[in-house]
Structures are given as C-alpha cells and as structure tokens.
Chain A
C-alpha cells in the first residue's frame, strides 16, 4: 500500500497567498536573523564554541547508554523516578497513568516539542483532563486550536491583531491591542491556572547525567511556575537531551540562546533536581521523568545520527529561505524547517514525507548557522537517496533521470543531443533570446522567461577551432 504523501506543494501555495502569515514571516526574517547576527558578532569565540558543542553532543550520542543509566540513578537518588517510553503510545500511556495515579485532573504544561511529537495534548483531551499551556505562544496556539509553526516561537504565524481577538473571545475581555496589554492579560489568566493545577508537565532543554538535573530555559518564567507549584511534576524529554556534566549544559546554553533569539542567555534558566526536599519552600511532592525514545535509538545506528545533536534553537528555520516563504504549517507535521525536513521522514516514513527533503535548494544557510554543526543539506540528500532507493516517485521521474544519465555517459551522443537541443530551443527563442512558454517546463515558464541558448555548443565549438 502506498502512503498518501504530504502535500507540501499545495500547502506552500496556500501559505504564499496567506497575507497574515506573510506579514508574520517578514518579522521573523527581520527580527531573529539580525539579533542572532549581533549576538554572534559580540562573541569572537562563537565558532570555537560550536565545535565544542558539536563534540559534546557527539560524545553523548556515542555513549548514550552509559549516560542514560547514570542520569536515572541520580534522579532516583534525589527522590524522583525515571521511565523510558519506547514509542509515542507508550509515552502517552505513561504520562496519563502518572496523572491518574496522582489524581491530577488540572494540568499546566510548558512548551515541549516532544509532547507535540507524541501527541500528548490530544491524549489528555480524550482522557478528559484540563490542560493549560503556559508558554505564551503555546497558550495562543491552544486558544486558536492550531499547531506550533516554529520551534521556539510556536505562534510566530499569528499576528498581534488576531491574538487580541482570540483573547477577547476566550477571556470575554476587551484588551488593548498592545503587546503590554496582551501579555498582562495572559499573565492574569495563567496565574490562576498555575495555582489551581494538580500537575505540571514540562519538557527539558538538557538532562544532566552527573547530577540527575533537568534544565529548562524560558523567557517568561513559565516553566518554573509550571513545575514548582503543583504537587506533581512530570518531565517529558527525548533520550538525546542528555549531557554529561553541568558544565557541558552551560556551554550548550550559551550556543542555544544566541542561536535562537540572539540573547546572551535566556531570561530564565531553571535547574531542578528531584522533588521537594525537607525544608524546601516549594517544589512538587512527586517528580517523574519520562524519557522518550520513539525511534531515536534507531536513528543512532544510521547516517542520520547527526540530527540527534539538535538542541532545538530554530536557527535553521530562521535562516531558511523556504521556511521564510511558507512558514511552519506547510511542512505538515510537528517539526518544521530544515531540521523538520530531516526528522519528519524518520517519524512518518520517507514514502509519506519525501516532499520535505525535496523542498530545499541545498543553499546551505542552515548548516552555516547551526550551533552544533549538523550537516543538514547532506542529511536531506541522504533522504533523497532513500526515497530514490524505495522508488517513491512515479516511473516518469526515474525514466527521465535514466535517459539523461544514459546520454551523459556517452559523450559523442551527448554532443549530438546538445547540438539538437541548442538549435531547437534557439529557434523557439527567436530574436528576443528567450522563451515565454515551454511545453513540459511550465513550472519554470509560468513565472519566468526561459533563456534561449546562444547557439552552437561550447565544447563542440571549441574543439572545431572556434575561439569566441
């Protein structure tokens, strides 16, 4: 059976015509690229730091078993518990069971991409649990009933006017259309939820093996309130989030903030180790970490392993001309932009996701800005090879490539074909030297003229003695 492929081209068309989205994307382009640039210009050792960051991540990935065990040991020693989920279903079940065991019905949740990946929100809804997203962007998305469109700015596609309207409708209020008024109103509403919640669910930016600590960074302080106030704290994190030592986490945090938002450091960096201890003023009574594998250990054994270095900063999408043209939703799944185009085929299968690796010019901007030097275009090319090997394209694509290569491997025949193509295209171009409509190349000629050949192939011409 053939899986229905993601309709990236359709989605892209819609996105390109969506004026609101286009205005929002222009802000990403102007805002985040410039702030990153400024932050990096102020840190001459940034490139060196990237090397160290990449090495830390590679080291962890090469010894993941050891660090997982060490981390679990330390969490238990601190009074917490660690669970490992093999796949998304297991992860959802684990979280739901924990919530049930602790009779938790009202749940606050800070931003976590892995929770999106495992479909936790839907599972909680089906279980009749109340979930409130506490990251402002995620909260907006929740009100809008949408999906995040960016790793660190989930609501980046939603304009301020629409946020105002969403708030007015859902809060039965009438806030001013200013960032300050909207943030103040969200804070007011969220505060009540923080205090009433039975459980808080957070993701993790890093898990420190040596200490059993979980590190989250935010600019709103919402992760602290999500994990510190309710009686139960559940951390959901991918197994690749481990780092050996606290020092390593801080090296990566320096890279993360600069690459993501251009900050030297995020406004809030929270390190939590186990549940509330005797004499602690706050903190949860129970502390659980759900480590999600969901195919990550399979990836480790493949040439796609470098994608597991990813620290989810979003720099690749902030600099990707394709992402900046179409936004995140067009990618059709949780992870978007270049890192998403590498990850999604792994989760959904290349038969379904092959349009994503193809939606790249291999311009290399993503690799250029990646703080842990993931060779993203190279990994996308591997997916194209995988797609080709599994024959996901129709026979005409393969035949076209086959005929072209067959000719290109026969230089004399190739010269003849070049001569023929040159002559006929030149005839089509006429005196103007360009073709307005070319059968079979409408993808090009619908928006561009097609430059006609000057005539007389160069290689043949030169070897006949022509010199200009």
Chain B
C-alpha cells in the first residue's frame, strides 16, 4: 500500500507564533507512516471572518482552502478549533451553493484533528522525558464540543515516559480566549482566564497542555503576568519530545 499523502494544515497561529508545533505535528504524522506535505498556499481557515459575521469573506477563504486541500488523502490540523471550522462549518457555510457544499462535505470527511488522527492510526508514543513532570490538560472548547476530543490526547500523553497527567477541576471550562472576544471584552476574558489559572495552580501541575494555540497563548500570557512559573505547551510538543524549546511565552 502506498504511503497516504497527508496535508498538514498548520493554522495561522502556529505558522506565525509557534512553528515548533508544526514541526512536531509533521514528525508525529510521518512516524505513523504517512507522507507529510505542507501546502505552501495555506493561510487561515477563515474563522476570524466567520465569527465576526463576515460570511462572504469566510466563504472566500473556505473556498481557497477547499481547493488547496481536496487533492490530499487526509488533512491533519493541530487545532480543534480550526479542524472544527473545516469539518463542521465549511459545509454549513455553503448551504446555498450546492456544488461547493458537496466539495466541503467531501473534504470534511478527510479532515482530522491531530490527536484524533494519531489515535486512529494507532500511533505509539515512545518518548520519555529527561525528568519526571506533572502536567494537566485543558480541554479546548471547539475540539471538545464540535469534534469530541477528550480521551485522544490523554491516551497519547499517558504513553509518555515520566509524564504524570493530573486532572484540574473544570478542565472543560472555557479559558476566555474566544478569538476577538478577548480584545472586545478583555475584562470578562481576564476573569475567565483567571479562573482557569486558579484551577491550574491548585492542580499542582508544572506544565499545562492543550490542543489549541489560541487558548495556550491566552493561558500562558496570564500565567506569566501573574508571576507563575507553570509552563505552557501544545501536547504535540510533548509527544514529539520537543521540550528543548522554550515554552509558550517563555520560561517563568
């Protein structure tokens, strides 16, 4: 059987802020025996436009991505929110354009969030941490509620040698990022991320993991500002053994 060709849709945030997540994701996908391609024409899934009510621009970006990604066997996205956008919202976006709706539906069947893809391919994690580390996992909203991502990252992380996963209370509560929400309503957003930070601190974890860079930047930004030394990373960095990179927002 030929190696399946997997397009890695890195997402705009990973592309700009944290390439490490992209390289880690590519390595993990390749380790399950797939050919990784990073289509150079990728920009953004269109969520900022879609969630701002600009349906027309969201459609144009969606269309660009459909054309870009439909030639591949699979598309893997290291973000529940962007994967959800392509899988759940693209087909809905073209409700009034049957031809594009059909193409969006066809694409949506082949798009997968990274941890789901790895579990589906039966990926085995062999990395071990240089020193034992206690981590906690934050369930990002879109991944959890649109795609049902809950056990997959935990199952993968459980295989990492030296990593102890502890659950914080209210791990399914929103961190307050919400795209433009965090700058439109910064006070409410801050209150929400404060709740999250309090739960993280009481869990006793030294490391916070999640699958969405937006949430991670928000949590990391608040942790650093409040003087906490808890580190923040995408789960893919841990799975790929990339702890040599400084954590998101730098070390405490």
List A residues at the B interface (Cβ < 8 Å): 8-9, 12-13, 16, 321-322, 325-326, 358-365, 367-368, 381, 383-389, 397, 401-402, 404-405, 407-409, 411, 414-415, 418, 421-422, 429, 432-434, 441, 443-444, 446-463, 466-468
Contact of A411 among B16, B40, B141 (CB under 8 A): B40
Which residues from B are CB-within-8-Å of A367?
145
Which residues from B are CB-within-8-Å of A456?
19
Do A326 and B188 contact each other (CB < 8 Å), given the known contacts A362-B141, A434-B224?
Answer: yes
Nearest-Cβ distance from residue B92 to partner chain A, whole angstroms: 8
Q: What CA separation (Å) do A447 and B16 show in the bound complex?
A: 22
Q: Flag B155-193 by CB within 8 Å of A: 1 or 0 each.
A: 000000000000000000110111111111111111111
Q: What CA separation (Å) do A362 and B52 show in the bound complex?
A: 12
Name which residue of chain A comes closest to B216, CB basis: A451
Nearest-Cβ distance from residue A405 to partner chain B, whole angstroms: 4
Q: Decide: B222 and A454 in contact? CB cutoff 8 A.
A: no
Binds A, one of B41-49, B112-120, B126-134, B200-208: B41-49
Which residues from B are CB-within-8-Å of A360?
178, 181
Do A388 and B145 contact each other (CB < 8 Å), given the known contacts A418-B15, A421-B16, A434-B250?
Answer: no
Q: Decide: B145 and A358 in contact? CB cutoff 8 A.
A: no
Nearest-Cβ distance from residue A346 to partner chain B, whole angstroms: 16
Q: Decide: B52 and A388 in contact? CB cutoff 8 A.
A: yes
Q: Decide: A409 and B145 in contact? CB cutoff 8 A.
A: no
Q: What CA separation (Å) do A292 and B109 show in the bound complex?
A: 45
List B residues at the A interface (Cβ < 8 Å): 10, 12, 14-23, 26-27, 38, 40-44, 46, 48-55, 57, 60-61, 64, 141-142, 144-146, 173-174, 176-193, 195, 217-218, 220-222, 224-225, 242, 245-246, 248-251
Q: Decide: A16 and B221 in contact? CB cutoff 8 A.
A: no
Nearest-Cβ distance from residue A167 to partner chain B, whole angstroms: 32
Which residues from B are CB-within-8-Å of A402?
57
Which residues from A are CB-within-8-Å of B173?
321, 365
Q: Decide: B181 and A361 in contact? CB cutoff 8 A.
A: yes
Nearest-Cβ distance from residue B31 to partner chain A, whole angstroms: 13
Which residues from A are CB-within-8-Å of B185?
8-9, 12, 322, 358-359
Q: What CA separation (Å) do A326 and B190 show in the bound complex?
A: 12
Which residues from A are CB-within-8-Å of B44?
408
Q: What CA separation (Å) do A364 and B20 show in the bound complex?
A: 29
Which residues from B are CB-within-8-Å of A443?
182-184, 186
Nearest-Cβ distance from residue B116 to partner chain A, whole angstroms: 18
Q: Which 3 A-B pairs have the closest CB atoms?
A: A361-B178, A433-B250, A448-B221
Do A463 and B184 contact each other (CB < 8 Å), given the known contacts A384-B53, A401-B57, A422-B16?
Answer: no
Which residues from A are CB-within-8-Å of B40?
411, 415, 459-460, 463
Which residues from A are CB-within-8-Å of B26?
462, 467
